[in-house]
Every structure is written in C-alpha cells, then in structure tokens.
Amino acid sequence: MYNNKFAFESGAVSIAFRIEGGLGDFVIAKKVFEAVIELVPDCQVDIFYNDERAKTYIEAFYSSSKNFNSALSIQLFIPENILNYDAVLQVSHLVVINYLNERLKNKAPDFFQRLNKISRYTQNFGQTIDLTAVVLRNITRAHILGINRYTCLSCDGALPIYDNRVEISLSPKGERGFKQLGLSKNYITVGSNMIDSRSLFRHALKEWSTAYATEYISLLNIYLPQIEVVQIGGGGVEVFKNADRHIFDADLEIVKHVLKNSLLHVDCESGLVHLATQLGTKCLVLFGPTDEKYYGFKENLNLVSDICRPCVWAWDNGSTCLRGAKEPPCMLSISPQTVCEVTCNYINHLEVKNKA
C-alpha cells in the first residue's frame, strides 16, 4: 500500500475500485474516478489490481490525485475488508456496484442516491451481466444517442460524465528518461502488433498486418525522409524492422513523454491511442472490426473501413474473423498508400503551419 492504512481507516468517505482490462481500460476508467471525486471531493479511494501490469497502470494514471489512497492486491479483496468501505465499484464497459454501505446515506446522500440509480441501471442488463451483451448494447446506444466508450459510463446520467477527456499527469522522472532516449524533434510513433504463436489467426483482428505496416514505413522514408519513425509497444510484439527506432516495454512514465512529444501516433484502436489522445497528441487510427463511433475520438484522423464491419464483440471477442479469414478483409482494405497519404498531408500541414 502507498499508505499504511486502508481508505476506510481515513475517516473520510471510503471507496474501492476494481478496474478490469488493459492500458486503455485503465485510462477510460479514470473518467469514473474523476466523476466520483467531483461528487465527493473529500473521499479516499483504494484501487485493487490483479497483476503487476495493472498496478503499473494505477500508479501511472491515478496516484497523482489527492483522493487516491492505495493500490491494493486483489488478495486483499475479501469480505472482512470490503464490508468496511462505504462503496465498492467495479468498472469495465459498465459500472457495477459490488457493495454499498447504508451509512453512506447519511455521509453523502446525493452520492448514495446516484449509486442506487447505477444499480437500477445495471439491472437492465439482467441478473448475470454478460460483458459481450453490455458492449453490443453500448455500441447500439452510441450510434443512436451520440455517446461513446467514456460517456456510456455515466449510466444514463447517474455520474457526471459528459465527455471523453481525463487528466493524465507527467512525471519529472519520465521526462528525464525521455530525454535520455535522444529522439529527434520530428518523429512519429507507430503502434505494434502482438505476437500470438498459439493461434493460426493474428492476436487481434483490429491490428494492421505487419506487411502493411512495413510497407507504410518504407513509403514514409521516401516521402517524409525528415521524419523519424518510432515503433512503440509492450513486450512480445512483432518488430517493424525498417522503423528508425524501437521502444519496447519501456517505463510507462517515459512512454507518456514519448507519446506527448510525437507529431502523430499511428495505430489501430488501442490503449496507446487513448493515452496519446489524452496527452494532446493527434492520432491516425485504423478502424476495421472495432466501432469508430463507440471507441473513437472525433479530433483524431480516423480511417474507417467500409468492408464487413464492425464485428468485434459479435464473435469470440475479436480474436478470430467472423468469416473465417486469416487476415481480416476490413483491415486489409486500409492500404499502406492511403495511410501514408493521410500522414503526409497532416505532417506537411504542420510544417507549413509552423513556418507561418
């Protein structure tokens, strides 16, 4: 624990969070964290993690808040601890109230009523909440109501969530590490593909093929020779060998600065896109099986396939093509030439703007 006490030992309104998913999910869940703080400004929050990777995300995105108390191992998520909190919230594509203490009715009556509203809202999804059904329903609502991955978490207005912006802090330690990389002032970042040797299919349908990414980088070397291409990602990724630099499995505080200072981040819909966008960096995002209206940011350059899409969450959570194709036709329809053209137009516009 960061502190020697649980949040419920602080005397303030105590709240526990359970957050599920990857990097992007932890960025998105901060919208709920910020909404809760807005409603209960003096609350103290503990966040439970399942593994060291999740703990790293908590430290990177939440620990700078004065309302953050501790990151706790899931092994401590036991009744003798849970029943001491005023509220326990689980966040994924939906906010679920795991526990609500009646004493909160007196300590924070408005917040108590809002949490009850969330409970009634989640009952619409049935007694056993199926994540796939939740996402498919959210995508439909996004198209009809104009909401998105972030604003869906308001649970029909129970939480004050009106946009898809969250605050991401930058650390001096990360800045020092970034400077030591010695990157040029003019670089773009390109996201990586995960390797999954256990499957005949690629790890995620939403990823662009490595062959296309390699061809794209070769085109950039011709048309934008002044721009350094930096491939960025975690461990266990496919290497784009013609990239100028490779930054893999780096400290997340350094990654923040790399993305913050990038002229453009090019990727499929991913956690790095969410992080880069929150840091103010324009992203060029390739949408195939994922839904742009639900997952996308309007301020980004979104290339949306018009072939057989979107199907993520409609079949095996996006790990195999619904049509049985080894390479998803939707992603193959987005050519390296098209992505290069959009990149060049944006970079050239930046250069003209900077000279003006």
Q: What is the CATH number for 266?
A: 3.40.50.2000
pLDDT digits (tens, 9 = 90+) for 100-154: 999 999 999 999 999 999 999 998 887 677 888 888 899 999 999 999 999 999 9
pLDDT digits (tens, 9 = 90+) for 31-56: 999 999 999 999 999 999 999 999 99
d(Cα 343, Cα 264) in Å, to the nearest integer?
8
Domain identity same for 208 and 126: no
Whether the predicted pLDDT of 197 surpasses 50: no
- Residue 117, classified by CB atoms within 10 Å of its CB into exposed (0-12), middle (13-18) or buried (19+), is middle
Domain identity same for 193 and 328: yes
The runs of H, that is alpha helices, within the chain are 23-39, 52-61, 79-82, 104-107, 109-122, 131-145, 172-181, 210-223, 252-260, 271-278, 292-295, 329-332, 336-355
Fill in the amino acid letter for 208.
W
Task: Note whether 175 and 258 are within 8 A (CB).
Answer: no
pLDDT digits (tens, 9 = 90+) for 242-262: 999 999 999 999 999 999 999
Domain identity same for 78 and 196: no
Domain identity same for 146 and 188: no
Domain identity same for 14 and 145: yes
Q: Is residue 162 part of a domain?
A: no
Q: How many domains, in total, are found in the chain?
A: 2
Q: Is residue 213 part of a domain?
A: yes
The runs of H, that is alpha helices, within 224-287 are 252-260, 271-278
Task: Give the pLDDT of residue 125.
Answer: 80
Domain that holds residue 230: 172-355
Q: Is residue 160 part of a domain?
A: no
End-to-end Cα spacing for the chain: 51
Task: Note whether 205 and 160 are within 8 A (CB).
Answer: no
d(Cα 173, Cα 74) in Å, to the nearest integer?
28
Domain identity same for 344 and 278: yes
